Amino acid sequence: MARRPKGDAVDGVMLLDKPVGMSSNHALQRVRRMVNAAKAGHTGTLDPAASGLLPLCFGNATKFSADLLHAVKGYTARVKLGEATDTGDAEGDVIETSAAPVTEEALLEAARSFLGDILQVPPMYSALKRNGECLYDIARRGEVVERQPRPVTIHELTIRDFDGTSFTMDCLVSKGTYIRVLAEDIGRKLGSCAHLTALRRTRVGELTLDAAVTMEALETIARSCEAAGEAEDQTEAQKEACRAASLAALRAKLTPSDALLSTLERIDLATADAARFMNGQRIRLAPPSGEGPTTENRVRVYDADGGLLGTAQLTDGLLAPERLIAH
């Protein structure tokens, strides 16, 4: 018999502002314990050395976490010119220096050359695998292996706060883009070298850092009610009420699961059609009236009360269930 997972059936997305120095999985497990969720997952790792937006999925939201794996990502990075490190960031050892002067005009021109579709060689210090072994494990042995360039897209790239040796860049990039490598490549384009000194993720798909909550804020909520619940002069009922209040306050920070699907067009079904849809049946929609989606695409589907049912493929007016939410 399968072991029942610990925790409650909590559904939603926690938009976490991950602090520097914490792994994505550590952040996920800490928040999972706070909200007492049985099922959890994230939408792609954020390096421990980086801070910023890390969407954490709980319950039904985990069914749609893959949607954000392929979404565009936004970052703000601080880059130091004249020094390269073996890891491409401030945690590595300096392996190259350059005294080549750089002007702001040259920097802006170099950055513009990377806009659009480019080929990028993944760094040795990455989780990509070669013959089943992570590249970073190979790199830690002092070895370097050939990596094939991969196509990525730099949608936006803005340079600011240049002081002659360092600059900040704000970028919007496709899945699989390494900001460390982008910084290094800009340095090489300038006849110099470079590495990241700070990296902060600001956007994942349509989700932004503005709506995120810090780990410190979540822990403050958890500690405040824990302290009240441990007071010696309180009854067990009062302590339990404090714990319940803490849990409710933490779960109130969750964003609805359909935030992961905001870029998909919406289809609302009547009660009878919703029941058939949830049984895995295809639904023939009414002929288009000039409003709503009319082309072949992926959509999000809701019931008559506005509850999310899941996602579907809409082809020639026929709605085929894809991923469904258990109710």
Q: List the chain domain ranges.
A: 1-70+209-257, 73-204, 264-324
Superfamily per CATH, domain 73-204: Pseudouridine synthase (3.30.2350.10)
Backbone angles phi, psi at 283, to 5 degrees: -115, 125
Q: What are 47's two structure tokens?
A: 């390096």
Which backbone phi and psi does 35 adopt, to 5 degrees? Answer: -90, 0
Spell out the CATH class of 1-70+209-257. Answer: alpha beta
| Residues recognised as catalytic | 47
d(CA 327, CA 315): 26
Q: Does the domain formed by 264-324 have CATH 3.90.470.20?
A: no
* pLDDT tens, N- to C-terminus, the chain (327 residues): 455 568 888 999 999 999 999 999 999 999 999 999 999 988 888 989 999 999 999 999 999 998 888 899 999 999 999 999 999 999 999 999 999 999 999 999 999 999 999 999 998 777 778 878 888 788 788 878 888 899 999 999 999 999 999 999 999 999 999 999 999 999 999 999 999 999 999 999 999 999 999 999 999 998 876 666 566 667 778 778 888 888 899 999 999 999 999 989 999 999 999 999 999 999 998 665 555 555 568 999 999 999 999 999 998 889 999 999 976
The reported pTM is 0.88
pLDDT tens for each residue of 120-169: 999 877 777 887 888 878 878 887 888 889 999 999 999 999 999 999 99
Kindly state the tokens that stand for 45: 């790792």
